[in-house]
Chain A
């Protein structure tokens, strides 16, 4: 049972140690199976952690036995437990399809290291979520980011290279901003432990460095989060990255920016300071709404569907920012649930892209012509995830929209409520365009196209199914999100 005690450390350590081993495994197929194993082990660990958090409350684990605030602590509260499940779960579900899914989309000589790098990303993401130490968070952020840049650059399309470099430069600016913010807080409080920071920040609302710190962290996280108008890295990175990578990133990467934002606003600065003194709602709500409209509008005009989904991600990120900005319980529940739910839908949608690219060599509107008959199951997954993205009832998308609209109305912001639903009407337009082409037009060529391979189809179907199941029974998502919100509001 001692092993269970160390679970918070193990969940980060296992993929971290596995990554170099994976790189040494030389044969792609071996490292593929190894990575699947690691992903599922981490997923299992995250579920155990989730279970413990729900039954016993917050877990605080002092790394190496050094007591906080001197040592680094790992803290698992409902929010981080949910993020752990999301990140490791998406990795576990997506991983089996990866080998076939990356097909021709990854440069041959990079394939060997592909899985090692994925594990590194996983390490970084899990670390960000679990750590209770601000500087440690930065380090994990850079681990995840560096590996992400590398993954994007592995695309066989040469355009992935400038996209990756752009991502690198903007991502580093974002991370560095967060680093400055953390430094400024350290300057004021003399501690790096988040809980400790929160305690010592009381009554320092007028401190200039603190205000600057919030501003830096807000902008830094917004860049990582791809919040309009600092989203410029995202479209190219998601479009030119291998589809399976886009699937994993679409589901998780931007969400970590949201996590960092929520964590710093509520667990460190406190919402009195962030919303009362600094009025960040005036940044988050307009940026969120503008992003939702801009992203959806641009998505409508895209011919390349991966790019369309990338812009749609910017729109969805806008909803999350909006939910955070509403600063009430339902708004925040909406944001947290949407972090999770959007992960499911975007994961499924990008995996459909992977399948289509694998079979047809591209994912533009032309390839989707008549696809409803050629790859019926894959397209069925696309339709389900697409409906969820629109927010049709009985899908997860509806649940998040529900709480967002409820939050907006509770905040007395009727126009915002109307704008939220109005922008989801734009989602109808861009999703329906594809559905129409897929089901009402016939393919221009006559090659026999087979359905996607099972390794790819099953995970996609699983995600699409989750989109519906978690839309009907929301005990898992909403329950945990509510607990997270309660905990964030009163806990620290």
Chain B
């Protein structure tokens, strides 16, 4: 029983630690060094806490922790299950890395209002933890909205009119879809199922007709705007006005993964695989997601702005996971869950590199990167690793998730999805690999001719980039812990 109690306490801590961190950051605003130390300590403490929850999950019973009961019979509660555990581990682990990176980046880039930045960053992490450990759909929704609101000041950080416009798009789409569609779907689910608990095998099976289930699924698929299924993807490229650490952690890991994570969790624990795979609407939604995969990749090819290209790449990759959810079988679940982790490592590396290039050379466009491989060899090497991992080439982590996705699609009887994955992989190559190639093999542009000086970024940035690139490799070599974890969830 003591394990049960402490387990619940750790979950509460996972949400509370970043919040305390935010308070500490605000209190220590006068001493930047101490403030940054507070961020790092908070990050480590959080990761340790999450790791302890993971150990508890390995060894035994899963406890629930009720925080409040705003609607009778519908508490705000925290609970831990494998998929959420994975998400929490990835997000909290990468937060430490991102903090290390951010310290170098923010100082080198002379950003204003750094205290506000770190504080809201910590709050956003708290919300992410809440999403990962949400015990029911209402709790998930609450933290989902908290995440949207807490990242808004980060997106509009620079305060320019461009940032404000982007902030409006960001907030408009995310709040609009979540309140306009997601909430309706949640209330509808509650009206039919009488509960919103996450349960193996789902809570809707047998309670609704096919039409209603299809409607609900569609409302979820589009209402979870953070999953960026077209046409609700515009917020993600817009969010790229934020400082790079935000784009890296929040808009490649925390926020976007919160979206697909929610969708995966809803398909698995609210609908159940059986219900979803039998619906007509599933096919239609698969087509929508497949369209997003291809269309976003095509758009990415045309983008010259580096961060915008990466953003569209993220849109495309997110729909992989949406597809994985809609395949609705254990292999899809495995592939989707794994892709959350592998894509996180790959994409965060790419964003770190993009930020490093910006800090060192003030270049934001792909066409300006010619010859940069000489000036920033480490950064561009890391960029290559990230790209290869996203594309899914060995020896990097992306391979495994693509493998399971394709397996799930093939054995689930969705052969056409295999073709989609194949085409999209080709497109990945087209929009990602030219970047390191330009940097390494093309001579620097005419106006910058002359001896190339090595201009690497602050050491903390390089360390962070190194960690995440190694992560891509490590996950290729040792994917077993994650697979172990995931195989314990999903199927009833």
* Residues of A in contact with B (beta carbons under 8 Å apart): 387, 390-394, 398-399, 401-402, 405-406, 409-410, 414, 417-418, 421-422, 424-425, 428, 432, 436, 440, 471-474, 478-479, 482
Contact B171 A474 (CB under 8 A): no
Chain B residues positioned under 8 Å from A394 (CB to CB) = 70, 142, 146
**Quick check: which of B102-110, B173-181, B243-251 contacts chain A, the rest being far away?**
B173-181
Tell me the nearest residue of chain B to A424, going by C-beta.
Answer: B179
Q: In whole angstroms, how far apart are the Cα atoms of A406 and B183 in the complex?
A: 10
Q: In whole angstroms, how far apart are the Cα atoms of A409 and B215 in the complex?
A: 13
Contact B72 A478 (CB under 8 A): yes
Tell me the nearest residue of chain B to A473, going by C-beta.
Answer: B68
Which of B121-151 touch A at CB < 8 Å? 138, 141-142, 145-146, 149
Chain B residues positioned under 8 Å from A393 (CB to CB) = 138, 141-142, 145-146
Known: A393-B141, A440-B159. A406 touches B70 (CB 8 A): no
Q: In whole angstroms, how far apart are the Cα atoms of A410 and B176 in the complex?
A: 23
Known: A392-B149, A428-B172, A474-B70. A405 touches B187 (CB 8 A): yes
Least CB distance, A201 to chain B, in whole angstroms: 33
Contact B145 A422 (CB under 8 A): no
Chain B residues positioned under 8 Å from A405 (CB to CB) = 183-184, 187
Q: Which of B175, B183, B187 has the most CB of A within 10 A?
A: B187
Contact A409 B69 (CB under 8 A): no
Q: In whole angstroms, how far apart are the Cα atoms of A428 and B179 in the complex?
A: 10
Known: A391-B179, A421-B180, A425-B179. A409 touches B70 (CB 8 A): no
Known: A421-B179, A432-B171. A406 touches B68 (CB 8 A): no
- Asked if B191 is at the interface of the complex by the 8 Å CB criterion, the answer is yes
Chain A residues positioned under 8 Å from B181 (CB to CB) = 421
Q: In whole angstroms, how far apart are the Cα atoms of A482 and B179 in the complex?
A: 25
Q: In whole angstroms, how far apart are the Cα atoms of A391 and B179 in the complex?
A: 8
Q: In whole angstroms, how far apart are the Cα atoms of A398 and B76 in the complex?
A: 14
- Asked if B453 is at the interface of the complex by the 8 Å CB criterion, the answer is no
- Asked if B389 is at the interface of the complex by the 8 Å CB criterion, the answer is no
| A-B pairs with lowest CB-CB distance, top 9 | A393-B142, A405-B187, A409-B191, A472-B68, A421-B180, A406-B187, A393-B145, A474-B70, A425-B176
The one of A392, A421, A424, A425 in contact with B145, judged by C-beta atoms closer than 8 angstroms, is A392
Instruction: Count residues of B near A (Cβ-Cβ below 8 Å).
Output: 30
Least CB distance, A429 to chain B, in whole angstroms: 8
Contact A417 B141 (CB under 8 A): no
Contact B159 A418 (CB under 8 A): no
* Residues of B in contact with A (beta carbons under 8 Å apart): 68-72, 76, 138, 141-142, 145-146, 149, 156, 159, 164, 168, 171-172, 175-176, 179-181, 183-184, 187-188, 190-191, 215
The one of A399, A417, A418 in contact with B71, judged by C-beta atoms closer than 8 angstroms, is A399
Tell me the nearest residue of chain A to B189, going by C-beta.
Answer: A409
A-B contact pairs, 12 of them (CB 8 A): A387-B149, A393-B142, A394-B70, A399-B71, A421-B179, A425-B180, A432-B171, A436-B164, A440-B164, A471-B70, A472-B76, A474-B69
Least CB distance, B311 to chain A, in whole angstroms: 23
Known: A405-B187, A425-B175. A418 touches B180 (CB 8 A): yes
Chain B residues positioned under 8 Å from A478 (CB to CB) = 71-72
Least CB distance, A45 to chain B, in whole angstroms: 28
Q: In whole angstroms, how far apart are the Cα atoms of A421 and B176 in the complex?
A: 9
Contact B145 A409 (CB under 8 A): no
Q: In whole angstroms, how far apart are the Cα atoms of A410 and B192 in the complex?
A: 9
Tell me the nearest residue of chain B to A436, going by C-beta.
Answer: B164
Least CB distance, B489 to chain A, in whole angstroms: 26
The one of A391, A410, A418, A425 in contact with B191, judged by C-beta atoms closer than 8 angstroms, is A410
Q: In whole angstroms, how far apart are the Cα atoms of A273 and B169 in the complex?
A: 48
Least CB distance, B143 to chain A, in whole angstroms: 9
Chain A residues positioned under 8 Å from B171 (CB to CB) = 428, 432
Least CB distance, B99 to chain A, in whole angstroms: 25
Least CB distance, A470 to chain B, in whole angstroms: 9
Contact A409 B164 (CB under 8 A): no
Chain A residues positioned under 8 Å from B215 (CB to CB) = 414
Chain B residues positioned under 8 Å from A473 (CB to CB) = 68-70
The one of B68, B142, B156, B184 in contact with A421, judged by C-beta atoms closer than 8 angstroms, is B184
Least CB distance, B169 to chain A, in whole angstroms: 12
Q: In whole angstroms, how far apart are the Cα atoms of A409 and B172 in the complex?
A: 25
Q: Which of A406, A421, A424 has the most CB of B within 10 A?
A: A421
Q: In whole angstroms, how far apart are the Cα atoms of A471 and B69 in the complex?
A: 10
Chain B residues positioned under 8 Å from A428 (CB to CB) = 171-172, 175-176, 179
Least CB distance, B196 to chain A, in whole angstroms: 11
Q: In whole angstroms, how far apart are the Cα atoms of A54 and B445 in the complex?
A: 80
Chain A residues positioned under 8 Å from B184 (CB to CB) = 405, 417-418, 421
